Amino acid sequence: MTAIGWIQIILFCAIITALVKPLGWYMTKVFNGERTFLSPVLRPVEGAIYWIGGVDEKREQHWLTYAVAMLLFHVGAFLIIYGLMRLQAFLPFNPAEQSAVAPDLSFNTAISFLTNTNWQNYGGESTVSYLVQMLGLTHQNFLSAATGIALAVALIRGFSRASMRTIGNFWVDVTRVTLYVLLPICVIGTLVLVWQGVPQTLGPYVEATTLEGAKQTIAVGPVASQMMIKHLGTNGGGFFNANAAHPFESPTALTNYIHMLCIFMLGAALTNVFGRMVGNQRQGWAIFAVMGVLFIAGVAVTYWAEAHGTSTLSSLGLTGGNMEGKEVRFGIVASSLFAVITTAASCGAVNAMHDSFTALGGMIPLINMQLGEIIVGGVGAGLYGMLLFVILAIFVAGLMVGRTPEYVGKKIEAREVKMAMLAILVLPLMYLGWTAVAVVFPPAVASMANAGPHGFTEVLYAFTSATANNGSAFAGLTGNTFFYNLTLAVSMFVGRFFMIVPAMAIAGSLAAKKSIPASVGTFPTTGGLFVGLVVGVILIIGGLTFFPALALGPIVEHLAMNANTVF
Amino acid sequence: MLREIRPAILVLLVLTLITGLAYPLAMTGIAGVLFPGQAQGSLIEKDGKVIGSALIGQEFKEDKYFHGRPSATLAPDPANSSKTVSAPYNAANSGGSNLGPTSKALADRLKEDVEKLKAENPNAPVPVDLVTTSGSGLDPDISPEAALFQVPRVAKARNLPEDRVRQLVTDNTKGRLGGLLGEPRVNVLALNLALDTATAR
């Protein structure tokens, strides 16, 4: 670990913290339907979309209608992606002449992108056409992100409203987020990325003759436009197989930094949106602080582990940390930081191969996802995941003093706690359950690339990543088999919708409640005690759930490494 | 609930066309005008022929060139398309080795490569990036230490004084952005092109 490494980390945290307030202010205006500086340009487009879609923007929806609208939206998205992948050979923008994608792989990919997971069982440049990349995948990068943000805002409205039946209009929320937040940032960001060297072309792959006379086919494409939304929307699906480690996805230290900031900024700003909407920004900062504590702890461990290297490297006299699977332009610190960011958020883009991380360095990304990606988290998904834990923490605090717990003026009762527990328990059921199945099913075992405990971690990581809708991978695992295509798709689906629907139910039930003013007996939810309590609840629930699985994977691998055992 | 079906189809379609077609195509047009070179992939031409991209590593095996990092990229086996074979710096199929910290295959590979490099230059410690594969398999850069490590071999193969070659390495070394972000590095293709120019003169 070096001083300059830590400065890069601290600078990142400082920029994100500085962005929280202005972005939160702007996004609150967008969700409240107020005029913004972009309205002169975008308002006509917005109006046209409502007119075509037959949407009455003044009419709000009950939580159930909101949830149904969201689900219908996803049915359509599934059909678009699946259809495009199956038919790509007959469609335009296919200069590399990619043939139809197999049904199970198309199914897996469609579920993967609409759940904001972007798990990739295919290599982008060797499997799909430019049309699929744009119309199938780039578009869903926008819309699955917009959906996540819309849902978070609906849940916030549940807290901020009193005695109301409705929580907003799904169509209006999705349209406004896409037009006013995601698109403008992407348009500017794309140009910066191209300036730095990220390609943006519809031309065919380039045939080059290298200095030594060998042939090299260089895959290009409309990369930059997808890169921006892939990170901003915490999607993570790469244009290329190597994702953001590929020099065309991230050619410089600057593009890498832009990617990292994009992953965190909207999710972090949503805590401020929450504070503003419930009428006290300090409520938002308290949640941001919980995220910050967990984040810094994770970065410290991974950076230390990667800088420290492996016993194989040190026995050969190699110093400078674990560079296997990392790029020179990013080095140890930017690779470690990126790995923690991408799994704290539900992004899943990678700028280094997590499979080659040290045992402990790779365990932190795994833990981040197993906690439910609540440290900033997926755009929207992180906030509603965190609010579920807040409900639990408040409930625990209430039990301790024997009072009905309250949070931002709402009584937290049996229904909310049950729904929160349902969402929190479904996730481990998926990733632990499927991992257990996979390690006793011989064809699934055959997909492991590494032997020993590392192979087990590959499988655990895959199901964790899918369930948590992350999409990063211990990529050695051969995921493009019938078993994994299917089971991972199920994990992604359950991980997304069994979290969303209970969260919407909580939103509806909270919105209907009366608001009660804070009294002397109210537990203050803006101070250090509250932050500590939430962190504690997260770590205890998380730790009890997945510690045994970690003991079989990364922990035993770390011990084996220290004993100089190889597999 | 039924009235949600119309927007489910039409709002989806319009937003799909805006974000999936209008946005990437407009960006392609604008980027092509503002930054034509970068948008095409930062290609380098020599005598009218494309010799590679400034951002994509390529394989160097000859002694007279600086070598990049080992690459773990694969290509379909010409004999059996369901299998893959090693194909370093395959820029149409990026990827890393994905070997873990306790992998025997990785330990063996590292040991072999370290011994080879020690034989080539016994006077300096082996730089870690010269024996580890990159995440993309297309890393265009090596660390300044990894470049300096190779100076004696390249100088000998080209009959150039070592100081001259070392100077070229220094000239082609890029520091951190603003002294802060990223890591110092040397672009291997740029260095080798500079080397060819220097030798021709």
Asked if residues A297 and A538 have their Cβ atoms less than 8 Å apart, the reply is: no
Q: In B, which residues are within 8 Å of A256 by CB distance?
A: 181-182
A197 touches chain B (CB under 8 A): yes
CA A456, CA A553: separation in Å to the nearest integer? 6
Same domain, A538 and A459: yes
Angle A217-B59-A123 (CA atoms, 0-180°, nearest 5)? 45
Q: What secondary structure does DSSP assign to A21-54, as a single string?
A: HHHHHHHHHHHTT---TTHHHHHHHHHHHHHHHT
CA distances in angstroms from B66 to A211, A344, B39, B143, B162, listed in the order given: 11, 39, 28, 12, 13
Closest partner CB to A199 (pick from B40, B101, B129) = B40
Asked if the Cβ–Cβ distance from A312 to B141 is below 8 Å, we say: no
Residue A473 in domain: yes
Same domain, A330 and A385: yes
Same domain, A287 and A254: no
How would you label A512-545 residue by residue, b for 16+ Cβ within 10 Å and e otherwise?
bbebeeeeeeebebbeeebbebbbebbeebbeeb
Residues of chain A numbered 87-116 and touching chain B (CB < 8 Å): none
Same domain, A121 and A161: yes
Element (H, E) at B51: strand B49-53
Task: Give the chain A residue nearest B52 (alpha carbons).
Answer: A208
Residue A11 in domain: no
Same domain, A352 and A376: yes
Identify the CA nearest to A118 among candidates A483, A468, A412, A497.
Answer: A468
CB-based contacts of A353, cutoff 8 Å, min separation 6: A245, A324, A325, A326, A475, B96, B97, B98, B135
Out of A269, A302, A319, a domain closes at A269
Closest partner CB to B91 (pick from A211, A216, A328) = A216
Work out the minimum CA distance from B78 to partner chain A, whole angstroms: 16
Q: In B, which residues are within 8 Å of A449 by CB distance?
A: 98-99
Same domain, A313 and A234: no
Work out the minimum CA distance from B187 to partner chain A, whole angstroms: 10
Q: In A, which residues are within 8 Å of B71 by CB distance?
A: none
Alpha-carbon A58 to chain mean position: 31
Element (H, E) at A263: helix A253-277
Positive or negative, the Cα torsion across A66, A71, A72, A73?
Answer: positive
Residue A531 in domain: yes
- Beta strands (DSSP E) in A164-283 are 206-209, 215-218
Work out the minimum CA distance from B83 to partner chain A, whole angstroms: 13
What's the pLDDT at A377? 83
Q: Which residues does chain A have with pLDDT short of 50?
A: none
Q: Is B155 a residue whose pLDDT tops 90?
A: yes
CA A529, CA A531: separation in Å to the nearest integer? 5
CA B190, CA B183: separation in Å to the nearest integer? 17
Residue A64 in domain: yes
Q: In A, which residues are within 8 Å of B101 by CB distance?
A: 310, 312, 322, 356-359, 454, 557, 561
A1 touches chain B (CB under 8 A): no
Positive or negative, the Cα torsion across B76, A236, A377, A110?
Answer: negative
Same domain, A34 and A117: yes
Residue A567 in domain: no
- Whole-angstrom distance between the N-terminal and C-terminal Cα of chain A? 28
Asked if residues A435 and A459 have their Cβ atoms less than 8 Å apart, the reply is: yes
- Which pLDDT band, with edges at 50, 70 and 90, does B10 fall under? very high
CB-based contacts of A336, cutoff 8 Å, min separation 6: A299, A302, A303, A305, A306, A307, A361
CA A463, CA A471: separation in Å to the nearest integer? 10
What's the pLDDT at A440? 94
Closest partner CB to B180 (pick from A7, A195, A201) = A7
Residues of chain B numbered 150-179 and touching chain A (CB < 8 Å): 176-177
CA A246, CA A231: separation in Å to the nearest integer? 15
- For the stretch A100-124, pLDDT in tens is 999 999 999 999 888 888 888 888 8
ipTM for the whole complex? 0.96
Out of A237, A269, A301, a domain closes at A269
- For the stretch B113-147, pLDDT in tens is 999 999 999 999 999 999 999 999 999 999 999 99
A79 touches chain B (CB under 8 A): no
Residues of chain B numbered 55-94 and touching chain A (CB < 8 Å): 55-62, 65, 69, 89-94
Asked if the Cβ–Cβ distance from A210 to B59 is below 8 Å, we say: yes
What's the pLDDT at B201? 67
CA B155, CA B163: separation in Å to the nearest integer? 9
Tokens of A69: 């609208």
Asked if the Cβ–Cβ distance from B92 to A205 is below 8 Å, we say: yes
What's the pLDDT at A222? 94
Q: Is B1 a residue whose pLDDT tops 80?
A: no
A209 touches chain B (CB under 8 A): yes
Asked if the Cβ–Cβ distance from B40 to A201 is below 8 Å, we say: yes
Same domain, A208 and A249: yes
Task: Give the chain A residue nearest B175 (alpha carbons).
Answer: A329
Asked if the Cβ–Cβ distance from A143 to B42 is below 8 Å, we say: no
Helix, strand or coil for residue B99? coil
How many contacts, defined by CB atoms under 8 Å, are there between A and B? 388
Number of structural domains found in chain A: 2
Work out the minimum CA distance from B162 to partner chain A, whole angstroms: 22
CA atoms within 13 Å, Cβ hemisphere of A289: 17
Task: Give the chain B residue nearest A325 (alpha carbons).
Answer: B135
Residues of chain A numbered 252-291 and touching chain B (CB < 8 Å): 252-254, 256-257
CA A43, CA A548: separation in Å to the nearest integer? 53
Same domain, A112 and A149: yes
Residue A2 in domain: no
Asked if the Cβ–Cβ distance from A247 to B140 is below 8 Å, we say: yes
Asked if the Cβ–Cβ distance from A245 to B96 is below 8 Å, we say: yes
Hey, how many other C-beta atoms are within 10 angstroms of the C-beta on A485? 22
Asked if the Cβ–Cβ distance from B60 to A212 is below 8 Å, we say: yes
Residue A383 in domain: yes
Out of A209, A238, A269, a domain closes at A269
Asked if residues B108 and A335 have their Cβ atoms less than 8 Å apart, the reply is: no
Closest partner CB to A316 (pick from B13, B95, B110) = B110
Same domain, A119 and A262: yes
Range of the domain at A469: 281-562
Q: In B, which residues are within 8 Å of A323 by CB distance?
A: 128-129, 132
Burial class (CB in 10 A: 0-12, 13-18, 19+), A13: middle
Same domain, A300 and A421: yes
Tokens of B7: 């927007």
Hey, how many other C-beta atoms are within 10 angstroms of the C-beta on A47? 11
Q: Is B70 a residue whose pLDDT tops 80?
A: yes
Helix, strand or coil for residue A17? helix
Residue A203 in domain: yes
Q: DSSP character for A347?
A: -
Q: In B, which residues are within 8 Å of A242 by CB distance?
A: 94-96, 135-138
Q: In A, which residues are within 8 Å of B59 by CB distance?
A: 210, 212, 214
Q: In B, which residues are within 8 Å of A357 by CB distance?
A: 101
Q: In A, which residues are within 8 Å of B6 by CB distance?
A: 53-54
- For the stretch B74-115, pLDDT in tens is 998 888 878 889 999 999 999 999 999 999 999 999 999 999
Asked if the Cβ–Cβ distance from B183 to A200 is below 8 Å, we say: no
Same domain, A243 and A367: no
Asked if residues A471 and A465 have their Cβ atoms less than 8 Å apart, the reply is: yes
B194 touches chain A (CB under 8 A): no
CA atoms within 13 Å, Cβ hemisphere of A45: 17
Q: In A, which residues are within 8 Å of B22 by CB distance?
A: none
